Structure 1
Amino acid sequence: MLKRMCHRALQTRILCPALPQRLPRPLAFHCYATSPSRRPGQLQQIWQRWPPSRRKASTWTKTKKLFKENPFTMTLATIIILIGMGGIVYVNYVYQGYIIGNFKAFPEPVAAKLRRALYYTNIDPQPANAVKYYRQALQVAAQLGMDQFSDELLGIKIQLANFFEKNRMYDTAIEVLELVRKDCLEWLEEVGAKPGNEGRRTKVLVKTIQISVKLGEYYANEYVANQEAAEERLVWAVTALLKEQKRRDDEGVKEGEGDWMSNEEIGGALESLGHHYEDRDQHYLSAPLFLQALGLCPPKSCHSVVLMNNLAISLAQQNPPPSLTPNDAPTSAAGHLSDARQWGLRALALSSSIKPPERTEECDEACAVATINLGDFAMMEGDVAEARKRFEEGISLSKAIGFPDGIGRADESLKELQKRRYAR
């Protein structure tokens, strides 16, 4: 069996004692007069007795002297001071850009609750307090009359679900997103089609599709393992986006509708459904989805290499039920393997042609995977020499890029190859 490798002001209470009454006059002012016994001439003598070096020494001179006397200590102190100053600058930058900047779209009462929630999410993780402030933010937003289907409020709800996911509370994350999805679907059905709502309809529909894809991932998670619900949500998402895409192609974009999902976003939804079918060994369903996603992916990108690998794996394991092709002669296993090998070679060639800065770690790992896959295809065809060569190349590539999954997979395949050889 082939395996797919894919790859976040305390309200300081100033305690001010009651202001004192006006001090008694003797305590309120002190006048220090020069002693009449000390004449100006005596002061001049005292001044002259003071060492000249002490009179003229500047801060810079003292600093240099300290560096000479204590070079290590002064260097360390300077570094600590610079780090402290840098820390102050960085904290101010984060506060202005991350804490303040991210909440400009919210009224201050809502933003204040969100800042608290964010603090208990990323800075001092306390799930109970984080959830409390997320919910308070939503309650305040509702009291202020904010649009419940705006990007801002939907974003809060999605962030809340992400928080539950981060804490492995998948059932609660599903509960949050299912409620949001239900509200969005009701709005689309009752309000979305009315004149003047074209732009909002597009935004809400996109969010609903994205939420459905995320729900599919949650349901498919090993901790939930509800494959039927996962398939239902993913199929709905893909069907909805393809239906809207076709409507726009046929009727044109209506005034005010705004931009639709990007090719990458559509491809991501198709790929998610493809992985779902692949995980269930329904490769005859995953292959067309990977092919469609590949057509929407930038042609010379590392992710195209990943999709080619996924397509090759699905083709190599094709086993469609006879009822799906009643009038056509089924493609032989050898034909599927030949197609899989061609896609594996294409993945290898594309990966080799991508150079930095476009080339990323995704490319390197996909190259190693493609090489190992070609070894698997050769082993399935009985070509022992070619299979061994590809597996050894895969191990070498994986070691060079620090890819332990690739090393382990190729090593397992070599052992399997050895077993088959002795079994003959």
Structure 2
Amino acid sequence: MPPNQNSEGPDKKAGETPKPSPSLKGMLWQAIKSDSSRAWYVIRNTRFKQIMRDSPFEALSAIVAVIGVVAVFAYCVYVYYNYFYSRQFTRYPEPVAQALRKALYFSNYDPDPQRALKYYKQALELCDQEGLDHFSDDVMGIKIQVAAWLEKIESYQNAISVLENLLGDCKRWVEVMEKSAAEGTLPKLVPAPAPKEGEPASPEEPRESYWAKRTRLLAKAVGISVKLANLYSDEHVLERELSHERLVWAVETTLREMERRAKDGLKEGEGAWMSPEEIGGSLEALAQSYQDKSQYHLALPLFFQALRLCQEPCHMAILMNNIATSFAEHPLIAPGDAPVHSMMEESKSWASAAEQRASYLAAAQRWAQNAITHASEPRGDARTPECDQACAVALSNLGSVLAMLGRNADARKKYEQAAALSRKFGMEDYAVEAETRLKSLPPASSKA
């Protein structure tokens, strides 16, 4: 609705052609473009008051829109400074931080792989120029971030190359350090440089000892090796043997370090080794790799060790499921030759292959039932989706074991329960798998 033409100012000269009143859109555009003092003047002038009287709803809507734009802009500024000026950047010298900000901007906010890679390389070159330690967590963190970004853009081979180079560097440093320690030729640590004249003295951080650095780099190497195993096993790469090799190295290195510490004790400043959860994760990953290769007799002891280290009830049920599967598929091996035989007292009394097979299946049945029991117990916050998954899979696995024992009627019930439970929790793939196994059974009228 146009403003009232009688609203001319008192200083209007007679005979002067009245200027058209500005539209609401034009007035708001002028307010946004002008500086704050001009915007305040426009808001207070009589024309704005007239618009408010004639079109209050439109005016208020426009004001709300302007306030919304300002709020969004303020929020963007807040997020920008909280992200790009957070500790993850300010811990680097400013030239490195600037290059990293640009790299992450072109990685996540305005994707441009060529420019992102350019600034990542620039950041690493600047780390050299600034004299940063190649093996510091800050510099290695940049390389790990580059690998993660390359994986994100599906450049898997380049991601693998970055991590392989970093793994090789960590291994070489540890080897040289261990050799020097054995020969007694480790150089003395250089004290931290004194602040330059005029610079404020900052609290001096203790220098990292060689043994502490060895622990940090060895743990980093184990983690990188496990990540490489995941990349090699990815469907876009499918290098199963290389994946398995990286897992074997990670687990052997982890266990060898635990054994060394137990035998020789901690060195001065050495620090703690990997957490039980991290060690258990490596063991489980290697066990899964053995399962994928149908080497169930090698997977079993690793799953048992991972179970001993596990603290999460729902994940314990997952591990019990894997143990049940490994027992059910365990090959017939001479008593005492398989690692798990030392845990099975009945292995001493097996008189035939049939008895050995029956013993494996009985163990598989027990562990599948244990998985169901443990997956059903957690309540409240302790219950995670893993419990539902473990329960459904354990029911299906138990059905398979019962079918192997010739108990088809009991197996049918477990498959039906597994399919129903899977659908209840929205796990359609598990339901289809249980129904497929159900269809493989002889008809219900057949003799069980």
TM range (shorter): 0.7 to 0.9
Q: Is the 8 A contact 1:305 1:350 kept in 2?
A: yes
Deviations 1:301-333 (CA, angstroms, capped at 9, x unpaired) = 321121111111111110155497199656722
* CA drift at 1:244: 0.8
% identical equivalent positions: 41
Q: Which has the higher contact order (CA 8 A, sep 6+)?
A: 1
Q: Which moves more between the two structures, 266-275 or 218-227?
A: 218-227
Tell me which residue corresponds to 1:388.
412
Q: Is the 8 A contact 2:408 2:442 kept in 1?
A: no
1:277 aligns with 2:286: no
Distance in 2 separating the partners of 1:344 and 1:165: 36
* CA drift at 1:285: 0.7
Tell me which residue corresponds to 1:165.
151
- Consecutive unaligned residues in structure 2, runs of 5 or more: 1-9, 14-43, 189-208, 342-346
What letter matches 2:210 in structure 1? Answer: N
Q: Is the 8 A contact 1:308 1:347 kept in 2?
A: yes
Deviations 1:171-220 (CA, angstroms, capped at 9, x unpaired) = 22221111111111111111354373111111101011111111222222
Distance in 2 separating the partners of 1:360 and 1:105: 37
1:357 aligns with 2:381: yes
Distance in 1 separating the partners of 2:365 and 2:333: 23
Listed as ranges, the matches of 1:8-407 within 5 Å are 74=60, 78=64, 84=69, 87-88=72-73, 90-101=75-86, 102-191=88-177, 193=181, 194=186, 196-298=209-311, 300-319=312-331, 321-322=333-334, 325=337, 332-407=356-431
Distance in 1 separating the partners of 2:71 and 2:318: 41
Q: Is the 8 A contact 1:376 1:387 kept in 2?
A: yes
Distance in 2 separating the partners of 1:97 and 1:419: 65
* CA drift at 1:407: 1.3
Q: Is the 8 A contact 1:399 1:407 kept in 2?
A: yes
Distance in 2 separating the partners of 1:65 and 1:333: 91
CA RMSD across the alignment: 3.3
Distance in 2 separating the partners of 1:90 and 1:380: 62
SS at match of 1:417: coil
SS at match of 2:379: coil
Relative to the length of structure 1, the TM-score reads: 0.78
Distance in 2 separating the partners of 1:103 and 1:394: 50
Tell me which residue corresponds to 2:17.
none
Q: Which moves more between the two structures, 261-270 or 372-381?
A: 372-381
What letter matches 1:98 in structure 2? Answer: Y
Distance in 1 separating the partners of 2:394 and 2:69: 49
Distance in 1 separating the partners of 2:231 and 2:388: 29
What letter matches 1:302 in structure 2? Answer: C
* CA drift at 1:283: 0.6
Distance in 2 separating the partners of 1:350 and 1:307: 11
Distance in 1 separating the partners of 2:170 and 2:387: 38
